[in-house]
């Protein structure tokens, strides 16, 4: 009966057997509601009131996840954290988007985020959250040195993982080539760059590249980037955290694009106003 | 806390540079990274005790798991940094410009640390923190700040409203960050000395705090302040005020 045990445990899991549980009321409910990444099973605290339990059951039913009522202590033991707020979910591996699906039907002036070896789950989650807020069309991660989508990442992303389009590619340099072929400019975030972010023109299709917390962007990928930008510094600590740099640069890109949109709206409005006068 | 154990070589290095007298001891694994080697050199130069410890891989079987797998076992023990008195915090040499922060009940030490790191990067003059329902400056906050705590003076206050009043007395303008504001951060007058007030991870700015603000601003797109992690929102606001 060598195979028996393996067969029963064969459903693929996020992380490992111990690490496949998402915890926290907001994060689990958000994942159930989004319905894309479907939990196998949800545990709710025996201390929940009837209304809350029904809310969870309804959401879980739509995902085809079973619901079990458990004691809070048991839930704590299972997920390994006491911050579960009475709700945990057992997850399969994260369903990444296919790369082609993100590049092809992209918006008129797409904005992509390429993460090269983000290892800290807090940083990864926080970057996904920023990508969601600033309307990034697709986030790409490689396989080397990259934090996987873990419970901590999902928590740091505050549920944004369910809304951001995230693809995993085998080779970021090859991806860079395909993006360039589609007319997307690769812009590297690099503390040693000469150009300040505000001097860069982000109105073109852009992929912002953020490197590893310690070693930065790998050399081959950096070589594919047409520009490098930095965030001007005024203090004495010389580097920003990767998630912070990413958030600030994404904001700068959105700011420039909304200014430009505002300006062109203004122009077209003036054009409309002057036209009848001309007639 | 009279005694911190830090594990990030960058936060230890800055402490050694800024206040070596507060560092009790540095314990370093042989053959560590370049960052740890700089720590060793800085400690030796400052006359701080350096003790070499046995790398984990050389420890007897069964004792290899005493520290987490990824991190090296190197560390330093030191005194926490002293607070700055509030009047001194707001005193500035250049009267025309400068940025200060007030953190209203921010609860996660990761966020506090990340805000200190970014504040140091942007040359923030001082940070006011609340005492109640707020993350203290834990070891995690020091390590996440990666040396930032050593460069930004701070104070912890029971009554934030009174601290904000003290800032106004010192000639600062008070800028709140909130989703419900009309003014975009891009339209804020940069030629003023601002105290930027940041609210809690869940509730945002408290009503009473909001009442003390001279101006309230938001980010574009609408909703960004609430949806971003508070430390990233803080970073974006600091960057915008430094333009």
| Residues B219, A235: C-beta atoms closer than 8 Å | no
Q: Is B231 in the A-facing interface, judged by CB distances under 8 Å?
A: yes
Q: Report d(CA A124, CA A122) in Å as an integer.
A: 6
Q: Is B124 in the A-facing interface, judged by CB distances under 8 Å?
A: yes
User: A269 or A263, which is more confident?
Assistant: A263
Tell me what the mean pLDDT of segment B70-89 comes to.
Answer: 90
| Sheet with B49-53, side-by-side order of all strands | B4-6, B75-78, B23-29, B49-53
Share of chain A above pLDDT 90, in %: 75
Among the ranges given (A185-199, B7-21, B66-80, B144-158), the one the predictor scored with the smallest mean pLDDT: B66-80
Tell me what the mean pLDDT of segment B23-39 comes to.
Answer: 92
Sorted by where each begins, the domain ranges of chain A are 12-90, 99-233+240-255
Fold held by A12-90:
60s Ribosomal Protein L30; Chain: A; (3.30.1330)
List chain B residues with CB under 8 Å of A155. Answer: none
Chain B nearest C-alpha distance from A48 (Å): 22
Chain A nearest C-alpha distance from B239 (Å): 7
Angle between helices B230-241 and A121-133 (to 10 degrees): 60
**Which chain B residue's Cα is nearest to A247?**
B232
Q: pLDDT at position A3, please? A: 44
Q: Report d(CA A54, CA A34) in Å as an integer.
A: 17
Parallel, antiparallel, or unpaired for β B23-29 and B75-78? antiparallel
Share of chain A above pLDDT 70, in %: 90
| Residues B227, A158: C-beta atoms closer than 8 Å | yes
| Residues B147, A122: C-beta atoms closer than 8 Å | no
User: A108 or A98, which is more confident?
Assistant: A98
* Cα–Cα distances in angstroms (integers) from residue A14 to residues A102, A154, B130, in the given order: 23, 11, 39
pLDDT tops 70 at residue A263: no
Phi, psi angles (nearest 5°) of residue B133: 45, 40
Q: Report d(CA B96, CA B191) in Å as an integer.
A: 7
Condensed to tens digits (0 to 9), the pLDDT of residues A108-149 reads: 899 999 999 999 999 999 999 999 999 999 999 999 889 999
| Residues A244, B231: C-beta atoms closer than 8 Å | yes
Sorted by where each begins, the domain ranges of chain B are 4-78, 86-241
Condensed to tens digits (0 to 9), the pLDDT of residues B217-233 reads: 999 888 788 889 999 99
Q: pLDDT at position A9, please? A: 58
What number of residues does chain A have?
Answer: 279
Query: Which of B10, B19, B67 is closest to B39 using CA atoms?
Result: B10
List chain A residues with CB under 8 Å of B186. Answer: 255
Q: Report d(CA B135, CA B112) in Å as an integer.
A: 7
Q: pLDDT at position A4, please? A: 45
**Residue A17 pLDDT class (50, 70, 90 cuts):** confident
Distance of CA B19 to the CA centre of its chain: 17
Condensed to tens digits (0 to 9), the pLDDT of residues B123-144 reads: 999 999 999 889 889 999 999 9
Report the DSSP beta bridge partners of residue A80.
none
**Residue B150 pLDDT class (50, 70, 90 cuts):** very high
Q: Is the dihedral of CA A128, A116, B117, A154 positive or negative?
A: positive
Range B4-78 classified under CATH 3.90.76.10? no
List chain A residues with CB under 8 Å of B239. Answer: 231, 248, 251-252
So what's the ipTM on this one?
A: 0.89
**Residue A274 pLDDT class (50, 70, 90 cuts):** very low
Average pLDDT over chain A, rounded to an integer = 88
| Residues A255, B110: C-beta atoms closer than 8 Å | no
Output the six-digit token pair for B17.
Answer: 């540079």
pTM of the full structure: 0.89
Report the DSSP beta bridge partners of residue B29.
B53
List chain A residues with CB under 8 Å of B242. Answer: 232, 234
Fold held by B86-241:
Alpha/beta knot (3.40.1280)
Fold held by A99-233+240-255:
Alpha/beta knot (3.40.1280)
Give the largest CA-CA distance in chain A.
89
């Amino acid at each position: 009966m060598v195979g028996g045990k393996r067969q029963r445990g064969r459903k693929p899991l996020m992380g490992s057997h111990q690490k496949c549980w998402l915890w926290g009321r907001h994060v689990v409910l958000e994942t159930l509601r989004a319905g894309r990444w479907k939990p196998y099973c949800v545990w709710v605290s025996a201390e929940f009131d009837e209304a809350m339990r029904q809310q969870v059951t309804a959401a879980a039913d739509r995902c085809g996840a079973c619901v079990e009522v458990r004691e809070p202590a048991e839930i704590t033991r299972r997920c390994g954290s006491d911050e579960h707020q009475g709700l945990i979910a057992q997850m399969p591996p994260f369903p990444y988007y296919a790369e082609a699906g993100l590049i092809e039907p992209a918006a008129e002036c797409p904005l992509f985020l390429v993460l090269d070896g983000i290892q800290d789950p807090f940083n990864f989650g926080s970057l996904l959250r920023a990508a969601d807020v600033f309307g990034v069309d697709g986030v790409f991660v490689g396989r080397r040195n990259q934090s996987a989508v873990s419970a901590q990442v999902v928590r740091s992303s505050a549920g944004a993982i369910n809304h951001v389009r995230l693809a995993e590619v085998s080779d970021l340099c090859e991806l860079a080539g395909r993006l360039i072929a589609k007319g997307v400019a690769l812009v590297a975030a690099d503390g040693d760059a000469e150009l300040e972010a505000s001097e860069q023109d982000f109105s073109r299709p852009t992929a912002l590249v953020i490197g590893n917390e310690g070693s930065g962007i790998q050399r081959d990928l950096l070589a594919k980037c047409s520009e490098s930008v930095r965030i001007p510094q005024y203090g004495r600590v010389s580097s920003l955290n990767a998630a912070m740099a990413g958030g600030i640069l994404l904001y700068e890109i959105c700011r420039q694009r909304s200014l430009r949109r505002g300006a062109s709206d203004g122009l077209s409005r003036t054009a409309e106003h002057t036209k009848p006068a001309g007639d | 806390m009279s005694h911190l154990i830090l594990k990030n070589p960058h936060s230890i290095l800055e402490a050694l540079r800024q206040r070596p007298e507060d560092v009790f001891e540095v314990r370093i694994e042989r053959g560590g990274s370049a960052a740890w080697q700089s720590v060793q050199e800085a400690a030796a130069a400052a006359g701080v005790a350096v003790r070499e410890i046995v790398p984990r891989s050389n420890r007897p079987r069964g004792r290899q798991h005493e520290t987490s797998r990824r991190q090296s076992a190197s560390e330093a023990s030191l005194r926490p940094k002293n607070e700055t008195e509030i009047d001194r915090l707001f005193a500035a040499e250049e009267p025309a410009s400068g940025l200060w922060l007030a953190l209203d009940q921010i609860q996660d030490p990761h966020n506090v640390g990340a805000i200190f790191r970014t504040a140091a990067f942007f040359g923030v003059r001082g940070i006011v923190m609340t005492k109640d329902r707020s993350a203290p400056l834990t070891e995690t906050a020091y390590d996440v700040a990666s040396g930032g705590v050593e460069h930004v003076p701070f104070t912890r206050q029971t009554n934030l409203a009174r601290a904000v009043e003290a800032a106004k007395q010192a000639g600062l303008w008070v800028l709140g960050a909130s989703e419900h504001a009309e003014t975009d951060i891009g339209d804020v007058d940069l030629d003023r000395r601002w105290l930027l007030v940041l609210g809690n991870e869940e509730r945002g700015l408290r009503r009473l705090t909001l009442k003390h603000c001279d101006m309230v601003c938001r980010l574009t797109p609408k909703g960004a302040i609430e949806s971003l992690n508070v430390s990233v929102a803080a970073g974006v606001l600091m960057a915008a005020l430094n333009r």
